[in-house]
């Protein structure tokens, strides 16, 4: 690439570096220099104004990315120091280098931990609180869950619910742990609820309606002894008979859970019945009622179990906080809580607001609701009502800088939501910039990418922005194919044997070497 070529979006890059009094929202495709743009803004802040590196917080998604950002900022500062002769500038550069190791350049969890360390008393944490890694947190959670489950199984108030759940095929020892894990990941969204032990379960209506349906066998007028509908009606008769003879409600629930009634949509020949369409409709109505009865009972039991799990999880969070043992999610929730606290929140926000005057967020496409709430609380006027939603909360100009690429959003399982990206983009549309010049790939590759992804990625409201074509700036490669399509020919497979991961890997390696 010719270093003298000016990118078509250079005006946007200049604005990103120098417009410090404007909140900017930058969308940058792969290879378009978004990290360089972010680094350039940081460098420009600490060299061309009265901003100190202490006033800046840079948040990215992984520790590796944070280390890379810190390295790039250091390299740029050292380059500028080596070429600068102006005493004041050299002093600012040297001071920034000295402060760099302690600068707030980290993941969101790292930044949240910094806030809590600075305000541990207000957060009611021990000064030396500990942050558990994912493995340690999961091990401790499982240990607490096993103790909880043991006490639940021995609690006489839960014996009937557990017997019902067992009859429905819900195994507390096996099924509750995955549910508890998911609830624990989102414990800040949980609210205590009460679901009492179910009232006596009455099967009388199902029995009466089942008998009435089974008697429809009398409308059979076929010459043969039976057809598929008579067999289906026999299944109803057997189901009802078992409900009537079962010893107690637990046996009845077991019958309800394990009986799989057939569909009646296509059962029976028209010539064998006086009104087969009406009979099919009655049959489907009854089986739907049985399915709804089963689903409603399952839902009731699961809600009761979930309410119990909720209490266990929330009690566990409080206990862990008292012990000063937090997991990563606790860090985020706790940081938001101290900023949003009804009594001391305004004072804490004022301190954080004055300390971090510029908040730069990288990889914003993978943000989650807590991240944008924390950023908004820090960047908003300190006297703003803290209960206001982030979408409607005003922020001071220049306090926030976002950069991301919606096409690279991959962390939905961690509550990342592309709709948050789109909402923030709309909120800060006056400061929206697009970086589309690609420095990484040749024109032929960019043309192929634009052609393919321009067809695959289509705009969908609140879930998918339209594809933005990339603009190449590199020259074409002097030799060789710019794009080679591998795997064009289907791999040979056995009709009776599914391919394994190893065999697919070998086939892919073969394609690459051709």
Domain architecture of the chain: domains with CATH: 23-126+328-435 (3.40.50.300), 133-199+298-326 (no CATH), 204-293 (no CATH), 438-473 (no CATH), 485-514 (no CATH)
pLDDT in tens, 338-349: 998 888 888 899
pLDDT for residue 415: 64
pLDDT for residue 510: 79
**Residue 106, H or E segment:** strand 104-107
In sequence order, what are the residues at sequence separation of 6 or more whose Cβ sits closer than 8 angstroms to the Cβ of residue 410? 366, 416
Which tokens go with 263? 């569909």
DSSP string, 112-151: HHHHHHHTTTTTT--TT-EE--HHHHHHHHHHHHHHHHHH
pLDDT in tens, 432-477: 999 999 999 999 999 999 999 999 888 888 777 888 899 999 888 8
pTM above 0.75, yes or no: yes
pLDDT for residue 36: 92
Residue 29: name the closest of 491, 468, 478, 472 by CA.
468
Q: Which residues of the chain have pLDDT under 70?
A: 1-3, 385-387, 410-416, 494, 514
Which tokens go with 215? 């008697």
Which tokens go with 441? 């790939």
Distance between start and end Cα atoms, the chain: 29
pLDDT for residue 387: 61
pLDDT for residue 2: 55
- Tracing tokens 């032990």 back to the chain, one arrives at 197
* Phi, psi angle pair for 227, to nearest 5°: -145, -170
In sequence order, what are the residues at sequence separation of 6 or more whose Cβ sits closer than 8 angstroms to the Cβ of residue 287? 261, 262, 263, 264
């Amino acid at each position: 690439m010719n270093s003298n070529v000016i990118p078509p979006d250079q005006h946007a890059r200049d604005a990103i570096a120098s417009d410090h009094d404007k909140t900017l929202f930058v969308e940058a495709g792969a290879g378009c220099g978004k990290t360089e743009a972010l680094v350039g803004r940081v460098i420009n802040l600490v060299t061309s104004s009265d901003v100190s590196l202490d006033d800046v917080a840079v948040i990215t998604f992984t520790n590796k990315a944070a280390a890379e950002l810190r390295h790039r900022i250091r390299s740029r500062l050292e380059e500028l120091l080596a070429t600068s002769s102006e005493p004041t500038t050299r002093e600012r550069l040297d001071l920034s280098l000295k402060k760099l190791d302690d600068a707030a350049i980290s993941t969101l969890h790292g930044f949240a931990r910094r806030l809590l360390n600075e305000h541990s008393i207000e957060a009611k944490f021990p000064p030396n609180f500990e942050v558990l890694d994912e493995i340690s947190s999961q091990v401790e959670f499982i240990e607490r869950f096993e103790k909880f489950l043991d006490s639940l199984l021995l609690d006489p108030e839960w014996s009937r619910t557990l017997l019902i759940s067992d009859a429905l095929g819900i195994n507390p020892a096996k099924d509750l742990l995955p549910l508890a894990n998911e609830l624990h990941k989102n414990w800040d969204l949980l609210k205590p609820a009460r679901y009492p032990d179910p009232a006596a379960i009455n099967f009388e209506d199902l029995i009466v309606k089942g008998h009435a349906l089974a008697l429809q066998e009398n409308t059979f007028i076929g010459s043969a002894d039976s057809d598929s509908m008579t067999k289906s009606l026999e299944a109803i008769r057997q189901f009802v008979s078992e409900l009537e003879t079962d010893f107690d409600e637990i046996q009845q629930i077991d019958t309800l859970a394990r009986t799989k009634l057939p569909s009646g949509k296509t059962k029976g020949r028209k010539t064998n019945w006086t009104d087969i369409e009406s009979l099919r409709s009655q049959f489907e109505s009854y089986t739907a009622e049985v399915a709804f009865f089963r689903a409603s009972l399952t839902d009731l039991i699961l809600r009761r179990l979930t309410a119990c799990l909720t209490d266990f999880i929330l009690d566990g969070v409080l206990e862990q906080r008292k012990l000063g043992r937090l997991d990563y999610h606790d860090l985020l929730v706790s940081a938001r809580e101290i900023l949003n606290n009804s009594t001391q929140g305004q004072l804490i926000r004022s301190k954080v607001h004055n300390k971090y005057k510029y908040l730069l967020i990288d990889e914003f496409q993978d943000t989650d609701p807590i991240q944008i709430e924390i950023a908004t609380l820090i960047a908003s006027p300190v006297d703003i009502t803290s209960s206001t939603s982030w979408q409607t909360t005003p922020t001071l100009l220049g306090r926030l800088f976002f950069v991301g690429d919606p096409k690279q959003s991959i962390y939905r399982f961690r509550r990342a939501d592309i709709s948050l990206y789109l909402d923030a983009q709309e909120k800060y549309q006056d400061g929206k910039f697009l970086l589309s010049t690609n420095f990484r790939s040749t024109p032929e590759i960019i043309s192929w990418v634009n052609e393919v992804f321009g067809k695959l990625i289509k705009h969908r409201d609140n879930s998918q922005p339209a594809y933005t074509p990339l603009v190449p700036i590199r020259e074409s490669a002097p030799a060789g194919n710019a794009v080679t399509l591998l795997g064009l020919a289907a791999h040979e497979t056995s009709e009776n044997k599914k391919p394994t991961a190893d065999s697919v890997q070998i086939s892919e390696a073969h394609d690459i070497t051709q």
